[in-house]
Amino acid sequence: MISKKMVKALNKQLNFELYSAYVYLAMAANSNTMGLKGFSNWFHVQFQEELFHADRFYNYILDQDGEVELEQIEKPKKEYKDAYELFDETLTHEREVTKRIYELASLALEEKDHGTHSWLQWFITEQQEEEANVKDIKDKLKLAGSTGQGLFMINAELATRVYVQPTVPGSQA
């Protein structure tokens, strides 16, 4: 049994994961409109990953006998200037997610909720990987520029990303 305060915080993160999915779906659409089909593919895979994260929070709350409370999802930004801005904002967004996951882990410790603290470790590792991947793409874009041959090559690389549902050891959620 977890505290009401913890359930409320987990529900807030469930909403933020859904918002993240929305942000990346908007970026996928915007990339497509810019003619960057590889970028569009990458963001669409990211959208699917965020839905999976949201689903994990949903299942965890229910498994802990908590109440799922779905709130309104904020409207995402619709247009981005160029490919660099897309990844610059993605990195900022992922750093915000990491901050929120750390706050959840701190709250779990405050509440002496070691079960939730342990469950959150998967997200901590996931965030480290996401930040590193996004920073890598952002650095390449900085180097190659947002137009021309460099962009063409990065677009081709991002076209190869495929959604694979992450494995979650020892958990159904």
**CA geometry: angle 29, 33, 36, nearest 5 deg:** 90
Q: Considering only the C-alpha atoms of the chain, give the largest distance between any 2 of them, rounded to a whole number of Å.
A: 56
Rounded CA separation 131/112 (Å):
28
Closer by beta carbon to ligand FEO, 44 or else 53: 53
Q: Which of 15, 18, 50, 83 binds ligand FEO (CB under 6 A)?
A: 50
Q: What number of other Cβ atoms are within 10 A of residue 156's Cβ?
A: 11
Nearest distance, CB of residue 148 and ligand FEO, angstroms: 29
Cβ atoms of residues 38 and 93 within 8 Å: no
Q: Which of 64, 84, 104, 130 binds ligand FEO (CB under 6 A)?
A: 130
Our finding on whether 20 is near ligand FEO (CB under 6 A) is yes
Closer by beta carbon to ligand FEO, 50 or else 151: 50
Q: Which of 11, 31, 84, 94 binds ligand FEO (CB under 6 A)?
A: 94
Q: What number of other Cβ atoms are within 10 A of residue 171's Cβ?
A: 12
Closer by beta carbon to ligand FEO, 19 or else 151: 19
Cβ atoms of residues 113 and 119 within 8 Å: no
Tokens representing residue 138 in the block: 């952002």
Q: Which of 7, 9, 15, 17 binds ligand FEO (CB under 6 A)?
A: 17
Interaction site with ligand FEO (CB under 6 A): 17, 20, 50, 53, 94, 97, 130
